Structure 1
Amino acid sequence: MEFDTPVLDNHLHLDPENGRGMEAVQDFARSGGTHLLVVNKPSWTLGIDVDEPADFRAAFETTIDIVDEASELLGGRAWPVLGVHPGLVSHLTERGFTPDEAGELMQAGLDIATEYVPSEALALKSGRPHYDISADVWDASNRVLQHALALGAENDCAVQLHTEASEDLTEIADWATERDLPAHRVVKHYAGGRLVGPMPSVMSEKDRLAEAAERGEPFLMETDFIDDPERPGAVLGPKTVPRRVRWLLDEGFDDAVRTAHVETPRRVYGIETLG
Structure 2
Amino acid sequence: MIDDETPVLDNHLHLDPDNHRGIDAVRDFARLGGTHLLVINKPSWHLDVEAESGEDFRPVFERTIEIVADASSELEGRAWPVLGVHPGLVSRLVDDRGFTPDEARELMQAGIDVAAEYVEAGDALALKSGRPHYDVDDAVWDASNAVMRRAFERASDLDCAVQLHAEASEDLSEVTEWAEAVGLPSHKVVKHYAGGRLKGPIPSVMSEKDRLETAAERGEPFLMETDYIDDPDRPGAVLGPKTVPRRVDWLLENGYEAAVRTAHVETPEFVYGIDTEDTLERA
TM-score by length of 2: 0.96
Question: 1: distance between equivalents of 2:9 and 2:203?
Answer: 14
The 5 Å alignment of 1:80-159 reads: 80-93=81-94, 94-118=96-120, 119-159=122-162
1:258 match: 261
Question: 1: distance between equivalents of 2:63 and 2:69?
Answer: 10
Q: CA RMSD in A?
A: 0.8
The 5 Å alignment of 1:219-238 reads: 219-238=222-241
Map Cα deviations across residues 86-145 of structure 1 (whole Å, 9 max, x no partner): 000011112011000000100000000011014110000000000111110000000001
1:169 aligns with 2:172: yes
1:244 match: 247
Deviation at 1:2, TM superposition (A): 4.8
Query: SS where residue 28 of structure 1 aligns?
Result: helix
Question: 2: distance between equivalents of 1:53 and 1:246?
Answer: 42
Deviation at 1:19, TM superposition (A): 1.2
The 5 Å alignment of 1:61-80 reads: 61-80=62-81
Question: 1: distance between equivalents of 2:2 and 2:90?
Answer: 42
Question: 1: distance between equivalents of 2:119 and 2:144?
Answer: 23
Question: 1: distance between equivalents of 2:22 and 2:202?
Answer: 28
Aligned length: 275
Question: 1: distance between equivalents of 2:244 and 2:184?
Answer: 28
Question: 2: distance between equivalents of 1:231 and 1:180?
Answer: 39
Is there any run of 5+ residues in structure 1 with no aligned partner, and where?
none
The 5 Å alignment of 1:188-227 reads: 188-227=191-230
1:160 aligns with 2:136: no
Map Cα deviations across residues 22-61 of structure 1 (whole Å, 9 max, x no partner): 0000000001000000000000111111111111001100
Question: 2: distance between equivalents of 1:2 and 1:166?
Answer: 31
Question: 1: distance between equivalents of 2:182 and 2:35?
Answer: 33
Query: SS where residue 45 of structure 1 aligns?
Result: helix
Moved over 3 A (4+): none
1:182 match: 185
Question: 2: distance between equivalents of 1:228 and 1:101?
Answer: 29
AA in 2 matched with 1:116: Y
TM-score by length of 1: 0.99
AA in 2 matched with 1:14: L
